């Protein structure tokens, strides 16, 4: 099985860490440690070289498809982008932890599995 994700996802996680730091849910030290651990780009590149991960390029056609999904299903841009990216690479399976996103992905023809 090969993982596929967009660099957009890295920004989403970095945003969540930054918000936690700003709200004093984590200390500056914990933020710095998490950020170093999270910015796993070297690990991501290693997985890609091994054929275990794929970085989906942020193409204009994927963005346009995500906008259609956003309007059709009233979902967040980030969620729409994940579905559009999965469709673009013809993902064998789409893993999700959100029941609503699971339903949208299924309605868009993705073989979805809800983990949450």
DSSP string, 23-69: TTSS-HHHHHHHHHHH-THHHHHHHHHTTSEEEEP--HHHHHHHHHH
Cα three-residue angle 6-23-29, rounded to 5 degrees: 80
Structure tokens at 98: 């959100």
Which pTM does this prediction carry? 0.69
How many whole angstroms separate alpha carbon 111 and alpha carbon 114? 10
Cα three-residue angle 17-77-113, rounded to 5 degrees: 80
Give which of 67, 50, 62 is closest to 6, Cα–Cα.
Answer: 62
- Report in angstroms the alpha-carbon separations of 41 from 47, 58, 85, 98: 10, 17, 19, 26
Q: Which of the four pLDDT bands, split at 50, 70 and 90, describes residue 2? A: low
Query: Higher confidence at residue 50 or residue 9?
Result: 50
Query: Higher confidence at residue 91 or residue 14?
Result: 91
The 10s digit of each residue's pLDDT in 57-72 is 888 999 999 999 999 9
- Given a cut of 80, whether residue 8 has pLDDT beyond it is no
């Amino acid at each position: 099985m090969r993982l596929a994700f967009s660099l957009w996802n890295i920004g989403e996680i970095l945003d969540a860490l930054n918000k936690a730091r700003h709200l004093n849910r984590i200390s500056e030290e914990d933020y710095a440690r998490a950020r170093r651990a999270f910015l796993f780009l070297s690990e991501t590149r290693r997985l890609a070289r091994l054929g275990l991960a794929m970085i989906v390029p942020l193409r204009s056609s994927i963005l346009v498809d995500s906008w259609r999904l956003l309007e059709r299903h009233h979902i967040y841009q980030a969620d729409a982008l994940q579905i559009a990216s999965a469709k673009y690479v013809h993902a064998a399976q789409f893993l999700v932890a959100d029941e609503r996103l699971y339903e949208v992905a299924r309605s868009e023809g993705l073989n979805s599995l809800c983990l949450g």
